Structure 1
Amino acid sequence: MTTQIILPKLGFSVNEAALVEWMVADGAAVKKGDPLYCIESEKSLQEIEAPADGVLRILEEAGETYEVGTVIGELV
């Protein structure tokens, strides 16, 4: 089963955020709760945890800004 990694909404008025870094390499195994990536909005820098166990497949690169709800990766 594949779990989509979706860029979360950090605040009521936040519609986009910068994907600062992936903390896990593409193709690496992760456990639910492991630090996965870091995002930055206009007000905060936040580390996001893996929502499930799996192998990371990166779909969007770090260093870019994405709309909230964008699928940036998958855990397979």
Structure 2
Amino acid sequence: MADLVVPRLGVSVTEVTIVEWLAEDGATVKAGDSILTVATDKTEVEIEAVADGVLRHRAAPEEDYPVGAVIGAID
């Protein structure tokens, strides 16, 4: 299993907001697939899968999460 964590997107970025999941919970994904969009106070960024497997959401859209928070997993 590979945890999906909020990445550091810049020196001053301490948290992000999940805009939307691009892949459904339970979807089969491949490493490099875009799976969700997050927003900072300056931009929106697509986050890619870190491994091949089945996506499991753990975080809800429109919520704020700190850098390093686990927001999902790939089984």
TM-score tier (shorter): over 0.9
Deviation track 1:12-31 (CA, whole Å, cap 9, x = no partner) reads: 01100101110000011001
1:42 match: 41
Answering whether residue 69 of structure 2 is matched by residue 74 of structure 1, we say no
Percent identity, aligned pairs only, is 45
The whole-number CA distance in structure 2 between the counterparts of 1:16 and 1:10 is 9
Q: How many residues align?
A: 75
What is the alpha-carbon distance in structure 2 between the residues aligned to residue 26 and residue 16 of structure 1? 23
RMSD after superposition: 0.6
Segments of 4+ moved more than 3 angstroms: none
In structure 2, stretches of 5+ residues that fail to align are none
Structure 1 residue runs of 5 or longer lacking an equivalent are none
Which one-letter code corresponds to 2:29 in the other structure? V
How far the C-alpha of 1:43 sits from its partner, in A, is: 1.1
In the TM superposition, 1:1-76 aligns within 5 A as 2-76=1-75
TM-score after normalising by structure 2: 0.96
Distance 2:7 2:50 in 1: 12
Give the TM-score normalised by the residue count of structure 1.
0.95
Deviation at residue 9 of structure 1 after TM alignment: 1.2
